[in-house]
Amino acid sequence: MTPAAPPLNIAFDCTWALSPRTGVGTFAAAVLDRLAARPELSMSGYALSGSQTPLVGPAIGDRVPVCHRSRLLSSRWTRAAWRRWDLPPIEWVTGTIDVVHAPNVISPPTRRAAEVVTVHDLSFVHHPEWCTADTVAWYPTLLARAVARGAWIHTVSDFVRQEVIATYGASADRVVAIPNASDPLPPTEPGSGRQLAGGGHYILAMGTLEPRKNLERVVAAFDQVAAQDDDLRLVIAGGDGWGAESVRSAISSAHHRDRIVTVGWVDTPVRAALLREATVLAYPSLYEGFGIPPLEAMGVGTPVVTSRQGALVETCGDAAEFVDAHDVDDIAQGLWRVLGNEARRQGLIEAGHRRAGQFSWDATTERLVALYGTAARGVEGRR
C-alpha cells in the first residue's frame, strides 16, 4: 500500500485582515476558509504588519495559525528590501514551506518554496491616478520582481491574465486565470433594506468612494432618472477611499440630493439587506479585474446595470444591462431600460440567477489547490 503523500505546507499572507473588507479581503477570506479545511494542505499565515501581527489571528477568526515571527516584517521596511533584493526570504519567519501565496501582489522572495501571486487588476500600472501613492510606488516593481523570479501568477479573470502577460512579459503558461465567486448572502429581516434606504424603490450603488467606482456619474445619472420617478432613491454603500470628497461634492450638487442616502462601509448582513431589496444595482465601474458585487446582486435576484470596461463583460456574461461608463446619459438610459421595462427586468433577474450559479468559491479553491501542487512540483524538480 502506497503511503499517503505528506501535506503541502502553504504560507498565506493575511495582512489584508487588518483592513476594511473589500474585493481582496473577500477573496482571501473565502478561499482561506476552504483551504484550511483541505487535508492535503497544512496552512499557516504570516503578515507584513509589524507590531500589529498579534491582531491578525483574531481578525481572521483563527482559521490558521499565524506565525508570530512575522511581526519582524514591518510592511514598509520589508517592501523596501524586497524592491531591491531577494532578501529576506519568507522562510526566515515561516520556516520550511512548499508554497507561499500572496493574495494581493506583494510576494516575498523565497529560499526554496514556490511563489503564487494573486493579481486582482493592474490599476496601479494603467491608472495610477486612481491609486494611492504607496500603491503606485511599490506594486509595479514588486510584481515585476516576482515575475522575474518565476512566480506563478494567479489572476481573477482572463482579462487580467492578458494584461499581466502583455505588461510584464510573463510566460503565458505561468499566468493562470481562476475566477472569483460570491457566497450566498445570508437571510435578512424583510424590509430592513428599504428601511435603510428610506423608501421601497431604490437604486443601489456599491463600492469604495474612489475614482474608478465612477460614483459621481452614478449620481448624475440618478438625477436624470429621478426626474421621471418621484419615488426613486439612490443608496450609496461604501467606505471612504481616495476621492470621497469628490463623491460628496457631486451629491451636494445634485438636484435630487434629498433622495440620495450614503450608508458608508457595510458588513455582510447590511449588504445582503440592501442588495435583496434594491430595484437595481448600478455598477458602472471604470475598471474592474472581476467585480464581485454584480454576482452578489444576481444571486439574490437584483438586476444589474454595469459597464463594458475591464472584466465586467467576462464576469456578467449576458446577465446584465451594459452601458458606457464614461457617458452619464448612457448610464441613465441603461437604468431606465431596467426600471421602466418589467419584461427586461425579469429577463435580467432570470439570467442573473443562472450566471451567479456558474461561480463558486469551492470551485475557485479546488483550482488553487491544483495550482499549489503544480507550483510545488516545479520547485521540487529543480532541487
Query: What is the tens place of the pLDDT at every residue in 177-194?
Result: 999 999 899 999 999 999
Taking CB atoms within 8 Å and a gap of at least 24, the contacts of 104-107 are 104/13, 104/15, 104/16, 104/24, 104/28, 105/139, 105/142, 105/143, 106/13, 106/48, 106/79, 106/82, 106/138, 106/139, 106/142, 107/142, 107/143, 107/146, 107/151
Q: What is the pLDDT of residue 383?
A: 47
Helix (H, G, I), strand (E, B) or coil at 181: coil
8 A C-beta contact, residue 49 and residue 75: yes
pTM, rounded to two decimals? 0.93
Q: What is the pLDDT of residue 380?
A: 62
DSSP 8-state secondary structure symbol assigned to residue 214: -
Q: In terms of C-beta density within 10 A (0-12 exposed, 13-18 middle, 19 or more buried), how is residue 261 classed?
A: middle
Q: Whole-angstrom Cα distance, residue 201 to residue 204?
A: 10
Query: What is the tens place of the pLDDT at every residue in 114-162?
Result: 999 999 999 999 999 888 888 899 999 999 999 999 999 999 999 999 9
Q: Does domain 192-356 have CATH number 3.40.50.300?
A: no
Q: What is the pLDDT of residue 276?
A: 96
Query: What is the tens place of the pLDDT at every residue in 224-243?
Result: 999 999 999 999 999 888 77
Which amino acid is residue 3, in one-letter code? P
Helix (H, G, I), strand (E, B) or coil at 121: coil
For the domain made up of 8-181+360-376, the CATH class stated in words is: alpha beta
The segment(s) of the chain belonging to CATH 3.40.50.2000 are 8-181+360-376, 192-356
Q: Whole-angstrom Cα distance, residue 239 to residue 236?
A: 10
Return the C-alpha cell found at 178: 481562476
From first to last of its 383 residues, the chain has per-residue pLDDT tens of 556 678 999 999 999 998 877 889 999 999 999 999 999 999 999 998 888 888 888 888 888 999 888 888 888 888 889 989 999 999 999 999 999 999 999 999 999 999 999 999 999 999 998 888 888 999 999 999 999 999 999 999 999 999 999 999 999 999 999 999 998 999 999 999 999 999 889 999 998 898 889 999 999 999 999 999 999 999 999 988 877 899 999 999 999 999 999 999 898 899 999 999 999 999 999 999 999 999 999 999 999 999 999 999 999 999 999 999 999 999 999 999 999 999 999 999 999 999 999 999 999 999 999 999 999 998 764 44
- Secondary structure E strands in the chain: 8-13, 41-46, 99-102, 114-119, 152-155, 175-177, 202-206, 233-237, 260-264, 280-283, 304-307, 321-323
State the sign of the Cα–Cα–Cα–Cα dihedral 12, 13, 15, 17. negative
Nearest Cα residue to 14 out of 31, 37, 38, 39 = 31
